[in-house]
Amino acid sequence: MSLSHQALHESRLLQVSCVCCRPESAACGELEHVWSNTVAFPLRGVFVKHHDHGEEVVAHMGQALFFNAGEAYRVSHPTTGGDDCLVLRANGAVLREMLMEHDARRAECEANPFRATHTPLPAAVELQRSLLWHGLRRNEASIVEVETRGLALLNMVLAQASSQPSRNAARTTSGKARRREQSHAVAVLLADQAARDWSLDELASRVHASPFHLARSFRAVLGEPIHRYQLRVRLALALEQVLGASAPLTTVAMELGFATPSHFSAAFGRAYGITPSALRKQARPSQVSQLRKILTADPSSAR
C-alpha cells in the first residue's frame, strides 16, 4: 500500500494535510495507528476501516472518521482507485476545550478521547469541509482563515458525534453481524457507483438478502434509509464538482444520476442552502468575501 502526505497547513493550533492512499490489492492492509488524535474527511474513493474490537466503518465523502492516538486499525479497499482524505489534527489543549462542550467525561481522557469511530456529515458540515479544502488547494486562504475554518469544522463534527448513541459492536449476534455486513456492502456499492439508478431488488440480490430485510437492516445499521444515503453521497460528489471543476452543471447533474438539472438544483439547494450556480459563482477568487458570509451563517439555515 502506497501512502503520501501533503502538508497544507501547520501551526501550533492546527495541522491540516491531504493523505492519498493507493493500495496494491483489495485485501486488508497491515496494522496501522496514528501518532496523534486525528479526524479524517474522505475526499475521494471508498475504504473500510477495521477496528480490533470488530467494528467496521465504510468510509466515503459523507462521513468524518475519528482516529485516537495509538489505536490499532487496518484498512481495506473494496473498490479500485484508492482514496484521498483531508486530515485535521488540533492542538491537544484546543481539542480538550472543544470536547468539554460536547463530552466532558471524554475530555478528561488522555487516551482515546474520541468515543465515536465516525459520524455522518450534515449538509452544512459538508459545505464547511469542501470550502476549507478548496481554499487550501487554491492557496487562497490566510492563516487565520484556515485555523478559524478548520477549528470550526472540528467542533461541528465533535458536536455531531456526541449526539450519536453508543454502540457495542463486541456484543453483536451472528444474525446482526450478517445484516451489518450486508448493509456495509450496499453502502460500498452506492458510494462506488453513485450515478447508477439502483433498484432495491438489485441491491438486495447483490448481497443475498430480501429487499424488505435489507431496507430495514440498512436503516438500523447506517441510521438512514437507502434512498437518503444515496442522495447524500451524490450531493457530496456534486459539491466537489461544483467547487472544484468547470464542467457545466447540466453535465454534473446527469453524470451523478439526477433525473433532471432542475431536480439536481432543487436537491442541492435544500441540502446546502444555496443553488449550485450561485455557489460556483461565489467560489471564484473575486468572490471570497461572499464565501465568508456562507461560512459564518447559522448552519441551521442550510438544512
Task: Kindly state whether residues 98 and 192 are assigned to the same domain.
Answer: no
186 shares a domain with 110: no
State which of 36-40, 210-214, 299-303 shows the largest mean pLDDT: 36-40
Give the Cα separation of 268 and 28 in Å (integer). 35
Q: Are residues 10 and 84 in the same domain?
A: yes
Cα gap 265→250, rounded to integer Å: 9
The reported pLDDT for the residue numbered 296 is 46
CATH of the domain at 229: 1.10.10.60
For residue 95, tell me if it sits in a domain.
Answer: yes
Question: Is residue 205 included in any domain, yes or no?
Answer: yes
Residues 6+ apart with CB under 8 A from 272: 123, 124, 126, 127, 235, 239, 279, 302
The larger pLDDT score, comparing residue 65 to residue 170, is at 65
| Mean pLDDT along residues 279-291 | 64
14 & 93 share domain: yes
Domain coverage including residue 11:
2-121
Which of 82, 101, 121 corresponds to the end of one domain? 121
Q: What is the per-residue pLDDT for 285?
A: 52
Q: Is residue 17 part of a domain?
A: yes
Residue 97 lies in a domain: yes
Count structural domains, the chain. 2
Amino acid at site 81: G
Mean of the pLDDT values across residues 158-182?
74
Does residue 271 sit in the same domain as residue 177?
A: yes
Please tell me the least confidently modeled range out of 8-17, 98-107, 125-134, 144-153. Answer: 98-107
Predicted confidence (pLDDT) per residue in 192-211, tens digit: 999 999 999 999 999 999 89
| 115 & 177 share domain | no
Q: Is residue 260 part of a domain?
A: yes
CATH number at residue 91: 2.60.120.10
196 and 291 in a single domain? The answer is yes
170 pLDDT above the threshold of 50 = no
The answer to whether residue 262 is domain-embedded is: yes
In a domain, 126, yes or no: no
Give me the pLDDT at residue 133, please: 92
Work out the average pLDDT over 31-40.
93
Q: Do 182 and 117 sit in the same domain of this protein?
A: no
User: Are 18 and 103 in a shared domain?
Assistant: yes
Nearest in space to 68 (alpha carbons), one of 107, 112, 110: 112
Residue of 278 and 139 predicted with greater confidence: 278
Half-sphere exposure of 272 (CA within 13 A, CB side): 33
Handedness of CA 245, 248, 249, 254 (dihedral sign): negative
Domain annotation covers residue 157: no
Q: In terms of domains, do 205 and 94 share one?
A: no
84 in the same domain as 188? no
Q: What is the rounded average pLDDT of the residues 58-81? A: 92
113 and 217 both lie in a single domain: no
- Determine the pLDDT at residue 223: 86
Q: Tell me the CA distances in angstroms from 257 to 80, 197, 212, 230, 245, one per residue in order.
A: 21, 7, 24, 10, 18
- Of 121, 155, 183, the one marking the end of a domain is 121
Contact 165, 115 (CB under 8 A): no
Predicted local confidence at residue 65, as pLDDT: 96
Distance CA 13, CA 28 (A): 34
The pLDDT of residue 295 is above 60: no
pLDDT at 294: 52
Q: Are 253 and 260 in contact (CB under 8 A)?
A: yes
